[in-house]
Amino acid sequence: MSEMKISQQLEQLDEDDNVENRSERLPQLRSYVHRVRSSSSKSIGHMNTYIRSNNRRGSGRRSYQRLRFPVARYSRREMPLKGPFVSFMPGTPIVADRSTKQTIIYSKTEVYIIPPLINTYGNSYSIAELIASGDASLDRSGGPPVNPIHMKRFFQRQSLTGPNIPMINSKQGGFKGGVRTNSGSFLISKPYETRPNIDSKYESEEKEDEKESSQEQEQEQENKYRPPSNVNNYYYKKPRNRYEASNSNSFEIEGNNRPHQTTTQTSTSRGMNTTTNGVEIHLTLYIDIIYPYGRSNKAIISANYSFPGPLIEAYEGDTLVIRVINLLDVPTTMHWHGIYQTNTPDMDGAVGITQCAIPPKNEMIYKFIAEPAGTTWYHGHLLEQYTDGLYGPIIIRQRHEPNQDKYDSEQTLMVADWYNLQAHTQLLPWYLNPNNTDGNEPSPDAIVVNGKFTQALSISLSKSSRILFRIINTAAFSMYNVSIDGLPLHIIALDQMATLPYTVNCFYINVAQRVLFYIDLSELNSEYTASGTLSTSAVYIRFQAMLSMYPVDTVNYIPPYEKQRYPYPTFFNPLYLAILSFNDTNSIPSYSASETTPALQNTVTPIDTNILAARPFYQNTNEIPKATYYLSLVIAFQTSANGINYAYLNNVTYSSDANYMHMRPAPRRGITSDEYAPLLYQMVTKPNNLNIPSPRIESGSLLPTIQSDGYGHYLVPYQAVVDIYLNNTDDGEHPFHLHGHKFWIIATSDYPDAEFLYAGDYIQRDTISIPASGWAKIRYVADKPGAWFFHCHIEWHMSAGLALAFITSPQQLLAEGYTISSDEQKLCQALRKFNKKHNSE
């Protein structure tokens, strides 16, 4: 068969397939590869394929990163061209197998089969479609393939022996065992090499044959920051047995049956087997840019090239050692939300409070105890980076989990706002602007759960009927109502506090809060069963955004900065639908999402967002301590002299050069706004010169009132038991988070009776939702010396100054032996060097 006839047949196949969009990233592929009649001339080898990088070099063109693929080669007479295939490039002898997504390339005498590429979610892509879309190339030039393709120039034959050679499939063509090539991300922002994991065996070449620019040479000098292919690489300090997992978010472990799965897209086992206390768990997080959506130019700031970032999992009491490497062009940091940071106040990750920012091409190693047990998350704490995707889940398990007899499997769902524009460079300048006279926050463009848009997330329950759901609100702005059609929700944890089962039909969850609940399919409403009027093999999981949170009619509102972006809607859809399938075929509900859902029996609707009626699993054996100090805080928004609408706590908008919150002049004495001297460092370098008054008796309270320096820094005595009364004068609900601590929620204006109904047994959370135009009363124990941020977790409000810092006992911090480490000093010096160079350019 001539090359011209091959091309003509490929064109005909393309017309028959009627593929609507040749660059579609997730084509619906079915398979057919003709059986091989003879194996006499088959061979195996490898070839290099170049995957497009995000950055543009000095010439303005895209750079390409080389990956090494295994290739199976057959003679053409053994593999005659037979359809149906998918052809992405009419006129070229390149097609894709419909089911396996293997790429098939025909040359004059041979047929070459290349396995698919997988991303961090485990989704497969054929090399053919990536070449067609311009995201991959057969050579470094990045140009389109030409016909004929001289594959002998690319193919390098290898011996058929050895442990690193995948087995060839002599019956169907290709490879045995479903070989797939993992690169972590198809569009990596900088030309760092990765080592693809081909069934945990193949490795890429260690370095490029030649350098194409001086920029690459500079990056080669910084090769200690090159991410390996298995970027989510855990290991335990004390080696025992090694276990390996094969998906792209897996990690190697040295320990006894530790968790094997780190992706938030799939279910995990109920618990981990018991192992020795005090194990060190090591993990590296690479912070870089990815473009996970084919038709969106929105850059996602990611941890380890996945969105969300990988799951971090440990037992309570383990030590986490996490190396964070910054591959961005701007500084970054990482906050470990809800972690106590006992004896490690410098590991909290709050820039300007506990550390200097991590400058580009630098790193910081965070080391802390995994406590308390429960579900939480990590996220960027600088430049609104978590709004653009820098977050991931943390699960800290107990060896004997509360309520562990209630469920058999589990799912983690991270719900978040999606913005078409970048948060810090595009949305924040519009928000903090005199032209935004009403101070309206940027309205989200969509909702995502685990990085997927509405009706794109399907959960199959074929092997389990009792499922635990871990819901984490990672939004920058939105609050959601959560429900599952036809099923009662049995809440068993709030933030990181286990509760007795509390059965509800729905619940609200504000930003940064976590709610855990289990469902039991035996309790499915009869209307959804085979004999019911809504008989179905799947139901909807609903995340309904609370419209009263938004300052505008967001359903019909087009922001002045917005542009139409297909396929992401200009008009916000406040209802997100995920699909819960009762079988393994990913069924979809047979009823319309707009149909009225039947009322559930034996359930309640919580009367408040914080769910104060839920009862702690562990009863308080000791009485909740009585308050010894008092602090009243008034939340307000008002227009400043420069015409910008800022946020205020007790008439102070928090401002700090260190975290790029430039709202007002910095103090000249006491605690200063020093980009290279976080508050924690100032506590030990000038503990007696912070210029903050001691607590004193004031009108309105019989207890001494905590005082501030007038700049948002409040001095708290060691072991003080502080009652905080938050008076919200704003017409929006505000989720406030206290770093390093839990607090008891005594009552709110939504549930004032809780103070008396649950006296001595209040629930504890680390994030409280303060009702709109209402109040909340909380109590916490200042048992950790250090600097602790207390702020609204709506990202726009924190950027507008709705924050303060508690300075807990500098003297006790010194007494416990805290010093500024040499690594921390070097990090601040590196930041100074970066800023000096950046500001001079």
User: For position 225, what pLDDT does the model report?
Assistant: 60
In angstroms, the Cα distances linking 435 to 443, 535, 644, 676 are 16, 53, 8, 33
> What are the backbone angles phi and psi of residue 726, rounded to the nearest 5°?
-105, 115
Helix, strand, coil percentages in the chain from 3-state DSSP, rounded to 5:
10, 30, 55
Q: Considering only CA atoms, give the Rg of the chain.
A: 28
Gap between the Cα atoms of 258 and 624, Å rounded: 36
User: For position 93, what pLDDT does the model report?
Assistant: 74
User: For position 567, what pLDDT does the model report?
Assistant: 47
Q: Which stretches of 22-91 are assigned E, i.e. beta strand?
A: 43-56, 62-75
Residue 264 backbone class (left: φ over 0; alpha: ψ -120 to 50; beta: rest)? alpha
User: For position 763, what pLDDT does the model report?
Assistant: 96
In angstroms, the Cα distances linking 386 to 200, 566, 675 are 31, 23, 21
If you search the block for the tokens 């470094």, which residue do you land on? 140
User: For position 150, what pLDDT does the model report?
Assistant: 64
The structural domains of the chain, ordered by start, are: 629-832 (2.60.40.420)
Gap between the Cα atoms of 648 and 803, Å rounded: 8
User: For position 256, what pLDDT does the model report?
Assistant: 31
User: For position 536, what pLDDT does the model report?
Assistant: 87
Gap between the Cα atoms of 294 and 25, Å rounded: 6
Gap between the Cα atoms of 508 and 502, Å rounded: 14
User: For position 170, what pLDDT does the model report?
Assistant: 54
pLDDT averaged per 10 residues, the chain (length 841): 39 37 30 30 72 49 66 71 58 71 78 74 70 71 58 61 50 56 42 26 32 45 52 38 27 30 31 51 93 84 94 95 95 97 97 96 96 98 96 95 94 96 93 93 94 92 88 98 97 97 98 98 90 85 92 78 56 90 86 90 95 91 88 96 95 82 68 90 95 93 96 97 98 97 98 95 97 98 98 96 97 95 95 87 56
Per the CB < 8 A criterion, the answer to whether 531 and 476 are in contact is no
Pick the closest to residue 413 from 473, 485, 356 (CA basis): 473
